[in-house]
Structure 1
Amino acid sequence: MTQPFIELNNVQKIFKQNKTENTVLEDINLKIPEGQFVCLLGPSGCGKSTILNLLAGFEKPTLGEIYVDGQTISAPGIDRAVVFQQAQLFPWLTVKENIQFPLKQSKAEPKYIAEQTEYYLEKTGLKKFENHRIWQISGGMKQRVALARAWVMKPKILLMDEPFGALDAQTRILMQETLTQLWQDNKTTVLFVTHDIDESLLLADRIILMAGHPGRIAEDIQVNLPRARSIENIAPQQEFIETKKHILEIMRKEVSRMIDYIH
C-alpha cells in the first residue's frame, strides 16, 4: 500500500488556560495523497484552523502523530506554505518585492528569482501592479500577492485558512479561478479551510466535513464533479445538488447535537 503524503494518526489537541481544559480536536485520523485538493468544511469552532496550525508546525498535538512525506512534523518548514484570511504582507515593499522576498531569503540565484517572480506576476494578473506598494492595492490583489508569494517557493503543501472569506463575491470568484489554475499547473497538495459549501464543491477533490465540541471528522466526501469547474456549470449537475443536500443534512444534525450539548 502506498504511504499517504499527509497522515494524522489519532490526533488530539487540548488547549489549557489556568485550570481549564478545552478539547479542540479529538481522534482525528486523516490520510491525504500527494497532489490532492482537500477542503476542510464546517462551522466556527470545530477545529479546522487548528488542523492547519498543527500541519504548519505552529502548534503540536496533545496526543497522536502528524506526518508529511513520512516525516514527523515538529516545527514550521519551507515545505509548507500558509495563506491566511488577512494577507500577511510587508506594506513598505512593492508587490514585486513581496513576491521575491522568500526567494531572496533562501539566497536563490538572481536569474531564478527574476524568472519565478515574472511567472507568478503573470499568473496572478499582477504584472501591471508590480511596482505598487501594498497599501495602494485592493484586498483581492493583496490575496493574489499572498498566493504568489506562497507558491513561488514551490512548497509541497499549501495551507489556506479561509483566504477568500473577506472578499466580495465577484473578487472571490476570480480568486477561486486563479487558485484552481495555479493548483492545476503545480499539483501542490492543498488544504483549504472554508465555511462555504459551494466553494468546497467548486474547489475540492475531497471534502472533510468537520463537527464540533470537540472537533472531529463527521464525514469524508469524495467530489467527482468534472474539471474545469465553475459554479454556473456545476450547480445544475445532479451530483452537485445531491452532495450539497447531503452535507446540509449532516450539518443540521450536528447543529441539533450542539444545541442539545449546550443545554
Structure 2
Amino acid sequence: MIILEQMDKNILIEDFSQFNQIALIIEKNFYEEGKFEVLFSYEKRPSIKDFRTNEKIRNEYFDNIIHILKDEYPFTVSSRYQRILEIKKSPNVVGIINLNIDGILTLNNSQNVIDLEGNINWVYCSTCGMDKSMESVVKNQDDITCISCRSNILKPSMPFKGQDIAQWDLRDSWMLLNKCDNLTILVADQISPMTYSFIEIVRKRNKEIYIVDQSGEKYENMDSNMMNLNFINYSLDNFLDIMLESLNNKII
C-alpha cells in the first residue's frame, strides 16, 4: 500500500498517462456535499409495497419531491462534474460508476455512466418501461400514471425499501471492473460497502487501485500489504485537474 502526498503530482501525471482502461467510481456526496443524498436518503423512502398500494403515501412522497426540486431545475453542473465530463471524453476512460443520485452526468452525457444507486431525475413504469424526466413531473405537474399502461404508477428511478440495486447495473459494473487496468475511486468523505466489494474484485485481478480521499481517513481496516493499492491525499478538485492534465492529449 502506497500513500501519495501533494508533492507527487508529476508521478501521478506520468502514471495516469500509462493507463489505457481507467474505470472511475464516484463515491456519495460528490455534488454539493451530498445534498440530494440527504434529502432523498434510503431511510426516507417508502417501502415499494406501500408506494404501489397506498395512494396517500404515494402522493405524499411525490408532493415532497416536487416541493424539494421545484426550485432546483435545471440542475447546475458543478465544476467537479464539468471536469468529469471532460475526463470521460478520453478513450482511456472506459466507464464511470456513480454512487450519487443527482443524475447530472447522465443528463449531460449518459454514455458509459452507471448510476448504480439510482437517478432522481427519471421516473419509469415497471410494467412497460416507459420513462419521463422528473423535471417534467415537477415543472409541468405531469400525471404520474403511465400513459402507455394507463394504470401503473411511475416510480422514481432509485431503489425503495424492499428493493435491491438493479441487477443489470450491477452486471455492467462488474463487466467494467473486469476490463479496467486502473480503478480510481473519488471519495468525498467515506467509502461505501459496495465500493469495498468492488475493490476486492479489482484487487484479485492485480489491477492498480487509486483511492483519492480528501477527508484524511486512515482506512486502518484495509490490508496494508496490498501492493496495488494507492491512497492519494488530495483534494478532489486538484486531483481531477491532474487527471485532465495527464489525459489532455487523449481527450477527443
TM-score with structure 1 length normalisation? 0.30
- By relative contact order (CA 8 Å, sep 6+), the higher-ranking structure is 2
TM-score with structure 2 length normalisation? 0.31
Query: Which structure has more strand as a fraction of its residues?
Result: 1
